[in-house]
Amino acid sequence: MTEILEVAKENLIKKGFLDMEVDPSLDLVAEIEKLKKEKNAIILAHYYQDSDIQDVADYIGDSLGLSQQAAKTDAEVIVFAGVHFMAETAKMLSPNKKVLLPDLKAGCSLADSCPPHLFRKFKEKYPDHVVVSYINCTAELKTLTDICCTSSNAVHVINSIPKEKGIIFAPDRNLGAYLIKKTGRDLVLWNGTCMVHEIFSNEKITKLQIRNPKAKLIAHPECESHILDKADFIGSTSGLLKYTIESEFDEFIVATESGIIHQMALASPNKTFIAAPPNDEKCACNECPYMRLNTMEKLYLTMKYGQPEIILPQWIIDQGVSSIDRMLEISAKAGL
């Protein structure tokens, strides 16, 4: 066993995940359920995970819901079926718990688009501004942030800042532009984007709308403005899901990562969901390549061996957590 763990650790360092053969005859669902009990672990999964991972999770949600769960869980181990910044957020909120991510390479193009050393220089140009950062950013960026937000609470966060105060918004320029329209505030924007939400084809969506005249176009605010301008509804992943459940309409073109359609179809089996098409027909670009690095096999190995673990320097937790706490306070006040 010690030998196996040593080999696994070596591979882990090289690859970012435990690289071991998993017996194909294993019932992974049953094994994962057993490990949850044995290790007092909870699995938190984002809607962009593969359906089989969503089905074995204890909680499935958007970035806000996942942070709220990470802050309040009694479990000793948090297994994050999502991406790196989400697991880091969980670690900052629950520093004494073990936080595991099945693949450490599950990053985020949006978080990568805002390197802290460049952002620090950018921030120096606006010394009196409040910094609001989308939670899709690194833990280090959170140390340079006054208040975090998610797509569920961004409008509330911006509106909580006194009108006379200037605001820098990072890293998503599309969500930022949407917030300027929604709140009427003049935000200074960092120029970052999500690689999944900027690939939707305007032309192909228009063709789909012509072929499916009853379908409502629903979009995540990380999409570019030409998609948002024609959307019937804009919301976070949980906002989009709620809309499809409560809506009197039966057909939807879904402009966000296609993993969310699993919960939409489960909640409304008689409704039709069409994934918004990307520009390139040959790629599965509406699937986040980072989110989809997590697999049932990696989830199982992570839970079995307690690796890979999220470790953060204490100064990052100390200086970064208040930005998340402020976001959670504003959300609680708003009843979110």
- Interface ranges with ligand SF4 (CB under 6 A): 48, 83, 108-110, 136, 194-196, 257, 288, 290-291
138 is in the binding site of which of ligand 13P, ligand SF4, none (Cβ under 5 to 8 A by kind)?
none
Residue number with CB closer to ligand SF4 (168 or 223): 223
Rounded least distance, CB 197 to ligand 13P, Å: 7
290 is in the binding site of which of ligand SF4, ligand 13P, none (Cβ under 5 to 8 A by kind)?
ligand SF4
Please answer whether residues 244 and 267 qualify as being in contact, where contact means their C-beta atoms are separated by less than 8 angstroms: yes
Rounded least distance, CB 272 to ligand 13P, Å: 22
Footprint on residues 106-135 left by ligand 13P (CB under 6 A): none
In the shown chain, the binding pattern of residues 205 to 234 toward ligand 13P, with x for contact by CB under 6 A and - for none, equals ---------------x-x------------
Task: Select from 34, 80, 35 the least CA-distant residue to 59.
Answer: 80
Residue number with CB closer to ligand SF4 (188 or 195): 195
Footprint on residues 21-80 left by ligand 13P (CB under 6 A): 62-63
78 is in the binding site of which of ligand SF4, ligand 13P, none (Cβ under 5 to 8 A by kind)?
none
SS3 324: helix
Rounded least distance, CB 48 to ligand 13P, Å: 6
Please answer whether residues 146 and 188 qualify as being in contact, where contact means their C-beta atoms are separated by less than 8 angstroms: no
DSSP labels for 103-147? -TT---HHHHTS-HHHHHHHHHT-TTPEEEEESSS-HHHHTT-SE
The string over 44-66, giving b where at least 16 C-beta atoms fall within 10 Å of a residue's C-beta and e elsewhere, is bbbbbbbeebbebbeebbbbbbb
Task: Give the phi and the psi of residue 5 in degrees, each rounded to 5.
Answer: -65, -40
Given the structure tokens 């409008």, which residue do they identify?
155
Rounded least distance, CB 3 to ligand SF4, Å: 36
Task: Give the phi and the psi of residue 313 in degrees, each rounded to 5.
Answer: -60, 145
Please answer whether residues 169 and 189 qualify as being in contact, where contact means their C-beta atoms are separated by less than 8 angstroms: yes
Rounded least distance, CB 12 to ligand 13P, Å: 24
Please answer whether residues 41 and 78 qualify as being in contact, where contact means their C-beta atoms are separated by less than 8 angstroms: yes
- For the CA atoms of 182, 186, 189, 194, the dihedral, rounded to the nearest 10 degrees, stands at 10
The radius of gyration of the chain's CA atoms, rounded to the nearest angstrom, is 20
Residue number with CB closer to ligand 13P (8 or 139): 139
150 is in the binding site of which of ligand SF4, ligand 13P, none (Cβ under 5 to 8 A by kind)?
ligand 13P
Rounded least distance, CB 2 to ligand 13P, Å: 37
Size of the site for ligand 13P (CB under 6 A): 11
Residue number with CB closer to ligand 13P (30 or 266): 266
187 is in the binding site of which of ligand 13P, ligand SF4, none (Cβ under 5 to 8 A by kind)?
none
